[in-house]
């Protein structure tokens, strides 16, 4: 059976890496992941669809069953391809309010990047790979430094995020409804620990390739964050900044919700 390549289009912090984790649990060494946002062509082929997905895997049978390629389509220039049994889309959405709240941490990490770099953490690497240990270390530095953010800086960031969110949702929401494009829509708000098995079974059905491991067993064996790790991913500086501008964030979120309501992506 031919390999299936999933072109992932996602709002940042909308469940892409969570889904990649489930696919790793289901397909093991026969799942290939393309990060795409790599610093050099030597690491990444910089092609869409990814070309490196065809290389030999470490599994005895060599070939990969499923591959997934990440893109946030930041410039909104990603081409829409005709899909087939070997090429499909998986499209991630999340409500703006929660997505933006999560992004505030990355905003502060970026603002404190020079201090964070002094501690041996490359923020570009952090943004590319979302290494959880590095992320927690960076947040600890952010809370210690508590970078000063002006209203002008914050509103510029809010406007930038809102613009991308609306344009991304309009573009990929339209693609998700096209009959000639095979796509699976994932709404982050509907993901939960209780629904993991159902979601995994939905993924397998969409992919159309038998997993290497039983769905329920794969879910049970997935790596889990401890309570301490989850607590370490909170940020007092991010919470304070969110509270300071909560009225503006809420107003922006309501405007976006009103504009996108006719799309009915749920």
Q: What is the pLDDT of residues 40-95, one digit of tens each?
A: 555 677 788 888 887 766 555 568 899 999 999 999 999 999 999 999 999 999 99
Residue 163 corresponds to which tokens in the numbers above? 């613009």
Share of the chain above pLDDT 70, in %: 88
Calpha distance 7→218 (Å, rounded): 23
| Burial of 33 from C-beta contacts in 10 A (0-12 / 13-18 / 19+) | buried
Residue 123 — pLDDT band, cuts 50, 70, 90?
confident
CATH class as words, domain 4-263: alpha beta
Q: Is the pLDDT of residue 36 over 90?
A: no
Q: In what order do the strands lie in the sheet with 31-34?
A: 31-34, 66-71, 4-10, 87-93, 183-187
Residues forming beta bridges with residue 34, ordered by sequence position? 69
C-alpha–C-alpha distance, residues 152 and 248, integer Å: 12
> In terms of Cα–Cα distance, which of 10, 8, 187 is closest to 94?
187
pLDDT at residue 223 in the model: 79
Digit-coded pLDDT (tens) for 186-202: 999 888 767 889 999 99
Q: What is the pLDDT of residue 221?
A: 85
Which alpha helices (H) appear in 177-211, and where do they start and end? 196-207
Q: pTM for this one? A: 0.89
The model's confidence at residue 264, banded by pLDDT at 50, 70 and 90, is confident
Q: Which of 51, 48, 14, 53 is nearest to 33 (CA)?
A: 53
Identify the pLDDT of residue 44.
75
């Amino acid at each position: 059976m031919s390999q299936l390549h999933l072109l992932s289009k996602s709002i940042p912090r909308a469940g892409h890496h969570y889904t990649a984790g489930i696919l790793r649990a289901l397909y093991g060494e026969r799942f290939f992941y393309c990060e795409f946002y790599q610093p050099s062509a030597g690491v990444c082929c910089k092609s869409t669809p990814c070309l490196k997905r065809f290389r030999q895997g470490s599994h005895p049978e060599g070939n990969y069953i499923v591959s997934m390629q990440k893109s946030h389509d930041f410039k909104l220039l990603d081409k829409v391809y005709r899909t087939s049994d070997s090429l499909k889309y998986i499209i991630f959405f999340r409500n703006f309010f929660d997505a933006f709240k999560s992004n505030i941490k990355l905003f502060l990490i970026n603002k404190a990047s020079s201090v964070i770099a002094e501690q041996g953490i490359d923020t570009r690497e952090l943004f590319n790979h979302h290494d959880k240990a590095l992320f927690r270390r960076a947040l600890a530095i952010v809370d210690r430094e508590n970078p000063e953010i002006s209203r002008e800086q914050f509103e510029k960031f809010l406007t930038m995020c809102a613009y991308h969110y609306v344009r991304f949702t309009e573009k990929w929401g339209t693609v998700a409804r096209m009959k000639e494009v095979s796509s699976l829509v994932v709404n982050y708000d509907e993901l939960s620990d209780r629904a993991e098995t159902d979601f995994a079974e939905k993924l397998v059905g969409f992919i159309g390739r038998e997993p290497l491991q039983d769905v329920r067993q794969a879910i049970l064996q997935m790596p889990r964050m401890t309570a301490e790790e989850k607590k370490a991913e909170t940020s007092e500086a991010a919470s304070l900044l969110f509270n300071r501008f909560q009225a503006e964030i809420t107003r922006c979120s309501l405007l976006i919700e009103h504009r996108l309501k006719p799309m009915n992506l749920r």
